[in-house]
Amino acid sequence: MMRKVLLGLLLTWLPLQVFAWNWRTRISLSLNDQPLSAICEKIEKEYGIHFSYSSDVVKMSRRMSIDVDQMPLRRVMELLFSENGIEFRRIGDQLVLTASKATTRTISGYVEDALTGEKLIGATIYSPALRVGTTSNQFGFYSLTTARDTLSLLVTYTGYSPAQIPLKDKENRQLHVKLGPSNTLQEVEVTETLPQLQEQTQMSKVNLSVSQIKNMPRMLGEADVLRTIQAMPGVSGGMEGTSGIHVRGGSPDQNLILLDNTPVYNSTHLFGIFSVFNPDIIKNVDLYKGAFPARYGGRLSSVVDISMKDGDMYKYHGEVSLGLLASKIMVEGPIKKGKTSFILTARRTYADLIMSDFTKRELNLGEDGEFFAYFYDANIKINHIFSPKDRLYISAYGGQDNMSLNRNMTFDSMNGTAKRYHEEMRFRLGWGNQAYALRWNHIFNPRLFSNVTLNYSQFYFITEYHYKHLALDTPAIRESDNMFGRYMSKVQNASAKIDFDYKPNPKHAVKFGGLATWHIFQPGITSFNNVSDEQELTDTAYNNQTSKGVELSLYAEDDWKIRDSVHLNLGVHTSGFLVNNRFYFSVQPRLGFRYILPKRWALKLSYTMMTQYIHLLTNNATFLATDLWVAATDKVPPMFSTQVALGLAKTTNDGKYEFSAEGYYKSMQNVIEYVENLDNFNSATSSWEDQVIQGRGWSYGAELFLQKKQGNFRGWVAYTLAWSQRSFPNVNNGSIFPYKYDRRHELEVVLTQRLGKKWELSCQWQYSTGMPLTLPTGSYEQITDPSPHLPPTTNDPGQVDLVQDRNTLRMQEVHRLDLGATHTKTRKGLTYILNISLYNVYNQQNPFFYYYKRNEGTQKRELTMMSILPILPSVSYALRF
Amino acid sequence: MKAIKWHIIIFSLLFAACEKTVELDIPYEGDKLVLNSFVQPDSVIYLRITRSQPPGGSEFPEVPGAVIALKAGTETLPTQWSIIGGKGYFVSVRPAKPGVEYNISVSAPGLDTITAKDTLPRRPLLSGPFAQGGGNRIKFVMQDMPGVDYYRFRLYQGIKNANGEVIPSERRLYRFDPSYNNNFTDMLTENYLESTLVPDDRFDGRAITIVMQTKDVNVKDNILLLEVTGLTRSSWLYLKTLELQTFNQGNLLVDPSKVYSNVVKGYGILGGVNTARLTVEVK
């Protein structure tokens, strides 16, 4: 036994004595910015460790700094060589250095339309042999780290011919992929495709293509992105005919609507009937109903992320269209071929122009009078490629709803009595958004992509009058009035944002970044000037106050492939809001989990928290441009929500069908409602906090979605079962009551069928449970005078309607069928597109409003249901060149 | 012209409201006592006692057998039943006087006993009336006092009674300066008002000159009677919320709004008012 021990000690001790060093030898070294060769020489000199390498093969010129104290030799070697592509091993008493043989490489670049240069969002880049892939991001950029010996990549995108890209060498490289549109009836639209649902950890997300939006049956000839979103599961429309969206029981102010990364505060024209987004400028729309990625924040219930087209890099194109409601124009093309492109769209309603003479006559505006009532919007985007690694995008949106009326007229009588006077009156009512964005993409290396955004957005509402009255029978009658009044509200923000996409290895896809936003709130400034008989009676402004706030946020998320069947998305969004010397802070975890079940079904789970620092003051049944944005205060703190969702999803192997089923539960804190018994909000004066109350909200339900995405026959069926509730201390005695857009069942069926090469037919049928309703529950006599002996009112004295609990009743159910047909013909380079739509085909009288109306026959007040939007045909015609 | 017709047809279709009578099972909690009275100093108090009705009601049964207990401060004010203009009132036997709180309790068989209370506000200070024959304006000065005040403005055609006093004979319609009532659209439309409710938060403690534009041309030597009523907060809330409910009747874009009531276990209002009148002789 003793002999064996001695032998072992000898064998161990001898090499140590012979070679003088081992991997545990302690090294202390401090060198600053030295080439690797110099560092090795130093180690060799001080510790007698000999390095052997070929300077032709091993790059030892890389400069490094090192500062270690008593660190084992192996750790020091790893520190020096691992990140520099150098392998080390011991042979005898020498450390032999060789160039490491990488087992992976990274292919990165952009995917774009071969004809127009338009970047394609969500294209799939896939290695069929290795079954690994990725998708292009919002800017068309992709990065795929795959096996070094990958021979080819398959790049696919719906509406485009797939491309098989051979990879000749085995190095990291930048590879820009150009896809050619497939030869179909469809206009060459940039349309979406996403990897199969089971390949995404993301859930509660819907992607919309422009062709989906444009092929839906139209109302008044206008395709509408928000109306298409309404047809998705988990999304309710507001009142009949409007394009407001209520996502999983949230209110419209809880939707973050982004246009090229810039928030748009008011997303509708014409009191909510049409959205402000012209479909001709839209490239891609993503709707997040839950499972919010960490990069989004600031709203509770949804994110609608709309990307604008970049414009054709190679050829000029245009489109002119004429609908019943609006005319549109779109022009795009290169400013410098292959380098710089632009796209410009504009639309305006024109009914006021056609009916100008009629309205002037009816409204007694005089010969010089004017009447305008219209909305317009315009978008422009310029896209410039500085280098293969740098691109710049400038985009701008401006839109307005406007009604103006000018009268300039001399009268000979007033109300039937002779009186000469001159009246000049100008009245204006308008609101609108402006949004500007400057974005710079930079590729640091094949694995790291960045985007810097500077943007500005504002929404304003304004109404004003100028009124002049001058009696002409002077000096007998001296009367002159000169009055001016204006009411204005505005909300603005300016942001600086940086986002990074980093793909360190095939198992991780990391996104991180930060955002700083400056908010400015002017919730209702009123000013007046009144000069009567040359005496100034009023010259003042009320609530002329501006509050400012700064919102800062940082985020990071990692899409982590733990195993082939297990994926985790770990993210966090932190934000702080500084306003009026108060600071609010929140940490919002964002978690996603995906597990692949047998037969390639994906089980998904998500947990997200969201915080919203701004409130919308409204006391309407619907949301209007007059509503006021205000910042959170101590008394009315920020809103926050928590949402969990569980779902199953699968895309069939042939890619034709998608199916998803999700259940969700969302709770909301500090949602607000108006207080009873108070006047409409005219402006958010310093007492606005006393006019609202805070409460809680809950929504939960299930959503089923089946979609056919390929072939001549396409469409989807969406079913939603939902509950949405609110509770406020002073409303309905503090008990839980249904949210005003709570709908128990909603079913949407959207189908499109191509017929030959020229026709495409579409139909949409929707059904939903009636919305909650508040109606008087009694009535009683009213009083206005202290004495019955005073002269009676000239109006109907009426009665008081007893209004008690909110939303305790329900309207009747709603259902409607819409049809559309699109005919496309191309001749001599021109494409002619005719769309005919029929809204509410079977003329269903859906409830819009209930009220008590006096029946002149019986002299009794009867509960009356009002319906709008009967059967409504429309035609639009477009010419594309 | 064809295009105009086509557009008119389409927009008529779009906004053409189709209405039909429907029936919904609306819960009704049963009849309750309704008390309506504005208490004016130096005037007898007229109390109107009726029953509430199911939703949609427009005729409200009187309760002549109600038992009234009305107090001015600690002093009981007896009332007697009178029919005036076809309607029944409980009328106090003595006029109301300022400086005390008015309390009332009303009971009737089969109905909950109701109670209410209020005080009387201060009287508005008016001066400087001016109106011109052939013109369509009246001008006057109102001195507001420091503190919260609520006002109601009305305009009457005045006539002289047998005692030579000017009394209101019929209501006149007018437009009010939007800088006080915020009604921007009054300037746009031919919208003339019968009454205007204005709080003093824009002119607290100041004297203001107010110009009203009348709907009809003023006739020389006619007499107009300007009425400005000071309101207590209860009276203000009742009249303002009533105005809001009336204004929003049939408005598609707003939810039905509640009307304020200070009557406990019933509905209606017991509110203090204080009316000042200014005779305006058209020159």
Distances (CA, A) of A457 to A183, A454, A519: 40, 11, 10
Residue A72, domain CATH: 3.55.50.30
Note whether residue A114 is domain-resident: no
Residues A365 and A229 in one domain: no
**Nearest CB to B246: which of A776, A788, A798?**
A798
Task: Give the full edge-to-edge strand order of the sheet including A152-156.
Answer: A132-135, A124-127, A152-156, A163-166
Domain boundary, last residue among B118, B140, B159: B118
The partner residue sitting opposite A479, judged by closest CB among B137, B258, B260, is B137
Q: Report the alpha-carbon distance of residue A215 to residue A186 in Å, rounded.
A: 10
In this structure, the number of other CB atoms found within 10 A of the CB of residue A662 comes to 25
Q: Does residue B1 belong to any structural domain of this protein?
A: no
Same domain, B236 and B129: yes
Three-state secondary structure string covering chain B: CHHHHHHHHHHHHHHCCEEEECCCCCCCCCCCEEEEEEECECCCCEEEEEECECCCCCCCCECCCCEEEEEECCEECCEEEEEECCEEEEEECCCECCCCCEEEEEEECCEEEEEEEECCCCCCEEEEEEECCCCCEEEEEEECCCCCCEEEEEEEEEEECCCCCEEEEEECCEECCHHHHCCCHHHHCCCCECEEEEECCCCCCCEEEEEEEECCCCCCCCEEEEEEEEECHHHHHHHHHHHHHHHCCCCCCCCCCCCCCCCECCEEEEEEEEEEEEEEEEC
d(CA B190, CA A871): 34
- A283 and A332 in a single domain? The answer is no
Q: Does B14 touch chain A (CB under 8 A)?
A: yes
**CA nearest B252 in A: which residue?**
A849
The reply to whether A20 touches chain B by the CB within 8 Å rule is no
Are A295 and A329 in the same domain? Answer: no
pLDDT at B13: 52
Q: Is residue A52 less than 8 Å (CB to CB) from chain B? A: no
CA-based angle A729:A733:A739, to the nearest 5?
75
Check if the interface score ipTM surpasses 0.90: yes
- For residue A821, with 0-12 CB atoms within 10 Å meaning exposed, 13-18 middle and 19 or more buried, which class applies? middle
Which CATH number is B165's domain given?
Answer: 2.60.40
B60 and B106 both lie in a single domain: yes
B217 touches chain A (CB under 8 A): yes
Range of the domain at A620: 317-778+797-880
Instruction: Say whether residue A420 is in contact with chain B using an 8 A CB cutoff.
Output: no
Residues B66 and B83 in one domain: yes
Which candidate in B136, B138, B204, B233 is best for mutational testing of the A interface (most A CBs within 10 A)? B136
Strand A745-755 and strand A448-471: the pairing is unpaired
One domain, residues A620 and A513: yes
B63 to chain A, closest Cα gap in Å? 13
Strand A255-259, strand A302-308: pairing: parallel
Residues B114 and B164 in one domain: no
User: Could you tell me if residue B3 is inside a domain?
Assistant: no
Looking at the fold, whether B196 and B149 belong to one and the same domain comes out as yes
Residue A736 within a domain:
yes
User: How far away is chain A from the Cα of B159, in angstroms, using its nearest Cα?
Assistant: 12
CA distances from A463 to A400, A401, B105, B259 (A): 13, 12, 48, 28
- Joined tokens for residue A232: 């998705």
Is A679 a member of any domain?
A: yes
Whether B136 and B187 map to the same domain: the answer is: yes
Distance between B175 CA and the closest CA of chain A, angstroms = 13
Query: Is there a domain that residue A178 lies in?
Result: no
Cα atoms in the 13 Å half-sphere on the side-chain side of B139: 18
| Residue B267 sits at the chain A interface (C-beta within 8 Å) | yes
Considering the domain architecture, whether residues A282 and A360 belong to the same structural domain is answered as no
A805 to chain B: closest CA residue:
B258
- B106 and B131, same domain (yes or no): no
B80 CB within 8 Å of a chain A CB: no
Instruction: State how far residue A616 is from chain B, nearest Cα, in angstroms.
Output: 16
Task: Say which of A354, A791, A808 has its CB closest to residue B156.
Answer: A791
Query: Which of B 118-147 lie inside 8 A of A, CB atoms?
Result: 132, 134-137, 139
Place of tokens 């992976």: A104
Q: How many helices (H) and strands (E) does chain A have?
A: 7, 54
Using CB atoms, pick whichever of B17, B134, B139 lies closest to residue A866.
B17
Percent of chain B with pLDDT over 70: 94
The whole-angstrom separation of Cα A139 and Cα A385 is 12
Residues in chain A with CB shorter than 8 Å from the CB of B214 are: none
- Alpha-carbon separation of residue A406 from A466, A528, A532, A592 (angstroms): 9, 19, 21, 58
End residue of a domain, out of A308, A336, A371? A308
Chain A 458-477, residues with CB within 8 Å of chain B CB atoms? 463-465, 467, 469, 471, 473, 476-477
Residue B9: what pLDDT?
Answer: 52
Evaluate whether residue A193 is within a structural domain.
no
B17 is a domain residue: no
Mutate to test the interface with A, among B47, B181, B217, B236 (most CBs of A within 10 A): B217
Q: Residue holding tokens 């839109």?
A: A399
Collapsed DSSP state (helix, strand, coil) of residue A437: strand
The rounded distance, in Å, linking the Cα atoms of A666 and A653 is: 33
CB contacts of A682 in chain B (<8 Å) are: 182
On whether residue A783 sits in a domain, the answer given is: no
- C-alpha A151/C-alpha A542 separation (Å) is 71
B101 inside domain: yes
Q: Which candidate in A362, A676, A802 is best for mutational testing of the B interface (most B CBs within 10 A)?
A: A802
Residues in chain B closer than 8 A to A354 (CB atoms): 3-4, 7
Bond before B121 cis per omega within 30 degrees? no
Q: What are phi and psi of A858, to 5 degrees?
A: -90, -10
- Asked which of B118, B137, B169 is the last residue of a domain, the reply is B118
Half-sphere exposure of A378 (CA within 13 A, CB side): 6
Q: Which of A261, A277, A308 is the last residue of a domain?
A: A308
Residue A12's pLDDT is 43
* Domain shared by A554 and A639, yes or no: yes
Using 50 as the pLDDT threshold, list the residues of chain A that sit under it.
1-3, 5-7, 9-18, 184-193, 681
Whether B232 maps to a domain, the answer reads yes
Answer whether A872 sits within 8 Å of B182, measured CB to CB.
no
Q: Verify that A756 and A857 share a domain, yes or no.
A: yes
Query: Could you report the per-residue pLDDT of A845-867, keeping only the tens digit for each?
Result: 999 889 888 888 888 889 999 88
Q: Using CA atoms, how far apart are residues A118 and A139, in angstroms rounded to an integer?
A: 10
Q: Which amino acid is at A755?
A: L
Query: B154: nearest CA in chain A?
Result: A793
Number of domain units in chain A? 3
Q: Do B21 and A862 touch (CB under 8 A)?
A: yes
Do A382 and A402 belong to one domain? yes
Residue type, B241: T
Q: Could you tell me if A420 and A470 are in contact, meaning their C-beta atoms sit under 8 angstroms apart?
A: no
The verdict on B131 and B227 lying in the same domain is: yes
| A735: enclosing H helix or E strand | none
Residues B85 and B139 in one domain: no
Task: Give A210's DSSP letter.
Answer: H
Q: Do residue A337 and residue A300 come from a single domain? A: no
CA–CA gap between residue B34 and residue A412 (Å, rounded):
50
- Report the C-alpha gap between A373 and A271 in whole angstroms: 13
- Residues sharing a CB contact under 8 Å with residue A464, sequence separation 6 or more, in sequence order: A427, A428, A484, A485, A486, A487, A488, B184
Domain membership of residue B247 (yes or no) is no
pLDDT of B3: 42
Note whether B140 and B108 are same-domain residues.
no
Q: Say if residue A431 is in the same domain as residue A498.
A: yes
Last residue within a domain, chosen from A84, A99, A114: A99
- Asked if residue B202 is part of any domain, the answer here is yes
**Is A177 inside any structural domain?**
no
Do residues A402 and A484 both lie within one domain?
Answer: yes
Domain ranges, residue B59: 33-118
**Domain-located, residue B6:** no
Residues of chain B contacting A855 with CB distance shorter than 8 Å: 21
**Residues A263/A257, Cβ–Cβ less than 8 Å:** yes
The reply to whether residue A485 touches residue B216, judged by beta carbons under 8 angstroms, is: no
The token pair that represents A582 in the structure block: 């108060």
Query: Last residue of a domain, which of B69, B103, B118?
Result: B118
Residues of A whose CB is below 8 A from B213? 469, 481
Q: What is the DSSP secondary-structure string of A100-140?
A: ---SEEEEEEEEEETTT-PBPTT-EEEETTTTEEEE--TTS
Helix axes A73-81, A36-47, angle to 10 degrees: 170
Banded model confidence at residue B16, pLDDT cuts 50, 70, 90? low
pLDDT at B122 (0 to 100): 95
B164 close to A (CB below 8 A):
no
Number of domains chain B is built from: 2
Contact list, B234 vs chain A (CB under 8 Å): none
Same domain, A303 and A322: no
Instruction: Mark whether B137 and B114 lie in a shared domain.
Output: no
CB-closest option in B84, B170, B217 to A788: B84
CA distance A66 to B67: 100
> A417 at the B interface (CB within 8 A)?
yes
Q: How far is CA A795 from the centre of its chain?
A: 49
Q: What is the pLDDT of residues B245-257, one digit of tens each?
A: 988 887 777 788 8
Per-residue HEC secondary structure of A152-174 comes to: EEEEECCCECCEEEECCCCCCEE
CATH number of the domain where residue A545 is located: 2.40.170.20
Residues B134 and B235 in one domain: yes
Structure tokens at A88: 């080390």
Please say whether the dihedral angle defined by the alpha carbons of residues A412, A417, A418 and A422, taken in this order, is positive or negative.
negative
The predicted pLDDT at position A392 comes to 96
Nearest to B58 among A425, A478, A860 (CB): A860
> How many other CB atoms are there within 10 angstroms of residue B269's CB atom?
25
- Count CB pairs under 8 A between chains A and B: 292
* pTM of the full structure: 0.83
Residues near B168 by Cβ (< 8 Å), separated by ≥ 6? A790, A791, B156, B157, B158, B225, B227, B277
Which chain A positions have a beta carbon within 8 Å of B26's beta carbon?
A: 775-777, 809, 863
- Cβ-nearest to B56 among A465, A526, A852: A852
- Both structure tokens of A628: 């006021």
